[in-house]
Structure 1
Amino acid sequence: MQSSGRIDDLLPSILRHENVSRVSDEGIYILDRRLLPFERKEVFCPTWRECVSAIKNMVTQGGGPLEVALNAIIHTSRTAPGELKEAVEALSLSRPTNTTMKREIAAVYSGYERGGDIERLCMEVFNRYDRYYDLMSDIGESLINDGDGILTRCFPEHTFMLSCAKARRNGKRIRVYVPETRPYLQGAHLTEPCLREMGIECFLITDAMPSHFMREGKINLYMTAADLAFQSGIVVNKTGTLSDAVSALHYGIPYYAFSVSPSDSSEDIVIEYREGNDVRRIGNVQIASEDATALYPCFDIIDPEFVSGIITPEGIYEGNSRWNRNR
């Protein structure tokens, strides 16, 4: 799968489809984001089963699991069509918070059961999301003013990167503040190198620093992706997003989250807890005693009062109308 020509030239290299995941006769290849920016290697998955493990083990994240799942379905349809239902079910459960992946591959399988061509159905999802990213980044770009200092969190992927690229293309001078994002350091390993590759001024900071720069007036816009978003205005995103949003509200800074399709119900939010060892270590470096009891909730729930709006392909769901006067 090649990236859409309209957005391809604006995206950093690791977000182009062929560099996220690709399918061959032998299996599925996934760019191992855990090794970036120091090594560029692919994880090879001969079947959908290894893809499930790769998603669980954070080989890729954000929009990556959906692309891996689609490629796994394509490969399974070619090599073991009798396992398609089992594959779809297992892939759906591989990342509990990624309801977008679950919804999209369930729809693909449903279309297949009704007689649709499964490869065509998968390609339609790839193409539709490229259109979504283009539309959402047009909206994101419109919210960015010349001279803005923008805070993000974790790896905000296509929509944020494209928003910044389009702002720069339109002559807007911007700078981006990038928290490291422990424990996997997606900010340090993915976001900052991508922005630098795109020629956008950016600063790597530690996770505790955003409030400092807000108080100094260096940050005046906060934008992130959303692992989950709801029409009620609730956003679920990487741990650290809530504290940033609270500080943003305090300092009068609007917070926008990107979401392809906010859900209508937030009753069944499941916050994934991962291994405490991820907190006791940074990579392979031990930073705390093995006897330390460590907690690692992967995501924050950001209440609507802290959310200025949720950017979707159709427009902006406005949560906190207090920010309407500011942008």
Structure 2
Amino acid sequence: MSSADQIRAIRWEEGQLCLLDQRQLPQREIWLKLGDYRAVAEAIRQMVVRGAPAIGIAAAYAMALAASEVSTHADWRARLRRAAEEIKAARPTAVNLAWATDRQLALAQSASTVNQAVAAVLQAAHDLLRDDIADNQRMGRYGAELLPAEGGVLTHCNTGSLATGGYGTALGVIRAGISAGKQLHIYVDETRPWLQGARLTAWELQRDGIPFHLNADSAAAHLMQQRLVHAVIVGADRIAANGDVANKIGTYSLAVLAQYHRIPFYVAAPLSTVDFAMPDGDGIVIEERPVAEVRQCGGHAVAPEGVEVRNPAFDVTPADLITAIITERGVAYPELRAALRALAEGHMQV
């Protein structure tokens, strides 16, 4: 592969979690070294690290830091439970955060001694990071088969190495398609208000030498109308059991546009993003972020002072607008509820 193999936003060094501060990209590449689980939770809250899989990995390491911190206390199990609640409270929408934290907590609680718990949760965090990269690469191979041999692919937000342990979900599918020899041109939504497309996806594609154009979110319909877009592929922060998908705000409108223009709309996400306890998307909590994110752009005011703002960070795309969901175990086609359950139970679909 290209330089994507070297793009990593998360690493563990000398007992600390190192995070590439994605708020500073593309102007500066600054790494933060965090040795406290509270600092990791705050980094998740403040968007130092973002993207559902990456948040899950960061949470797993936060639990490793928490386990080490509470290890000198007789009531370490209770303290670790409280730390887990603090970590899970960082952001509400992406299911990977709670999934990884709860998995780490259960692992620690099942250990016979605190030393065993500390070692087990740290190793599990390492394993999650390694497995995420491998899962993304498998997901990419499945998804690449769905992309056209040549043509335009539109994507939204950032779903690459920066949003995962490495390689990417939706962007990983694009990378795999390029590696397979497909002649693809990528259209990158800027993704207001955090501009993850403009700042992060464009940065990754430029480093990889993948041809692309950056466009305003509101240009997507025009690009489709001009027949420049032959597929849309996005990631996910939480997928309900029926296949409804919560993803970055603006995803739902893209799915509606894609259906009108008869363009396939794909979602790429690991099975850990599927919340089988959530029957449908109506129950997904949508995070509302600070009003300044909309009032400003790049730190500069763009709206009248004091204007009222709605700033939902995510929206929910109904399952009936989704052509397929690409996972590390295969591709789920409608009826998505049954297809996702089959994949989770180990029944491959392609």
TM-score (norm 2): 0.83
The residue identity in structure 2 corresponding to 1:278 is: E
What does residue 328 of structure 2 align with?
313
Deviations 1:106-157 (A, max 9, x none): 1122122112622222223223322321221111111112212000000022
Shift of 1:162: 2.4
3-state secondary structure, aligned to 1:129? helix
Query: Mapping of 1:1-327 within 5 angstroms?
Result: 11=4, 13-14=6-7, 16=8, 19-25=9-15, 27-62=16-51, 63-81=53-71, 82=76, 83-115=79-111, 117-157=120-160, 158-261=168-271, 262-264=274-276, 265-266=279-280, 268-319=283-334
What does residue 324 of structure 1 align with?
none
Shift of 1:159: 1.9
What does residue 325 of structure 1 align with?
none
2: CA distance between counterparts of 1:298 and 1:169? 32
8 Å contact from structure 2 (residues 150, 183) kept in 1? yes
1: CA distance between counterparts of 2:208 and 2:98? 31
Shift of 1:76: 3.0
What does residue 346 of structure 2 align with?
none
The residue identity in structure 2 corresponding to 1:112 is: A
Deviations 1:3-55 (A, max 9, x none): xxxx8x662644x2xx3243434x43321101100011123433111111111
1: CA distance between counterparts of 2:122 and 2:319? 39
1: CA distance between counterparts of 2:143 and 2:304? 43
1: CA distance between counterparts of 2:171 and 2:46? 25
Structure-2 change in CA distance of 1:29 and 1:306 (3 Å): same
1: CA distance between counterparts of 2:177 and 2:33? 37
Deviations 1:58-90 (A, max 9, x none): 111003222222222223333443343322221
3-state secondary structure, aligned to 2:217? coil
1: CA distance between counterparts of 2:335 and 2:324? 7
2: CA distance between counterparts of 1:148 and 1:80? 54
Deviates further, 157-166 or 106-115: 157-166
TM-score (norm 1): 0.89
Deviations 1:172-203 (A, max 9, x none): 11010001111111000000110111111010
8 Å contact from structure 1 (residues 35, 41) kept in 2? yes
2: CA distance between counterparts of 1:308 and 1:130? 25
The residue identity in structure 2 corresponding to 1:229 is: I
Identity of aligned residues (%): 26
The residue identity in structure 2 corresponding to 1:87 is: A
8 Å contact from structure 2 (residues 19, 32) kept in 1? yes
3-state secondary structure, aligned to 1:167? helix
2: CA distance between counterparts of 1:255 and 1:118? 37
Deviates further, 248-257 or 57-66: 57-66
Structure-2 change in CA distance of 1:286 and 1:320 (3 Å): farther
1: CA distance between counterparts of 2:183 and 2:205? 14
What does residue 114 of structure 2 align with?
none
Alpha-carbon RMSD: 2.0
8 Å contact from structure 2 (residues 169, 269) kept in 1? no
Deviations 1:275-316 (A, max 9, x none): 111100012110011221111011111112211111122222
8 Å contact from structure 1 (residues 24, 75) kept in 2? no
2: CA distance between counterparts of 1:127 and 1:210? 35
Shift of 1:260: 1.3
The structure, 1 or 2, with the larger RCO (C-alpha pairs under 8 Å, 6+ apart) is 2
8 Å contact from structure 1 (residues 140, 159) kept in 2? no
2: CA distance between counterparts of 1:302 and 1:319? 14
Deviations 1:205-246 (A, max 9, x none): 001001101000000100000111123121111111111111
Structure 1 residue runs of 5 or longer lacking an equivalent are 1-6, 322-327
> Number of residue pairs matched?
310
